[in-house]
Amino acid sequence: MFSNIVNAIIWMLIVGVAWYLVSFIPIPAPVGTIITILFLALAVVVLLSSFGVINVGVPRLYNK
């Protein structure tokens, strides 16, 4: 269970940094909204996959 939590935290940090860096790209508002929705969907999939609710093949970054 601990490794699931650590794995989820690591993936959320990766998604958060990617989201932060993408926010610097000057894009039109409708495209920005689509990108925001895609990042939120990715975050939900990563969280669900980290705890084994769905199996989508997100790599384990922490194994103990």
Per-residue pLDDT of the chain (64 residues; tens, 9 = 90+): 677 788 788 888 888 898 888 888 898 989 888 988 998 888 888 888 877 787 776 666 666 6
Per-position DSSP letters for 4-64, written without gaps between them: HHHHHHHHHHHHHHHHHHHTTS---HHHHHHHHHHHHHHHHHHHHHHTTSS---PPPS---
Within a domain: 58: no
Within a domain: 38: yes
Within a domain: 35: yes
Place of tokens 């689509």: 34
Within a domain: 26: yes
Structural domain span for residue 26: 2-50
Report the domain count for the chain.
1
Nearest C-alpha neighbor of 22 from the set 12, 13, 32, 7: 32
**18: amino acid identity, one letter:** A
Helices 2-22, 29-50: inter-axial angle, 10-degree rounding: 170
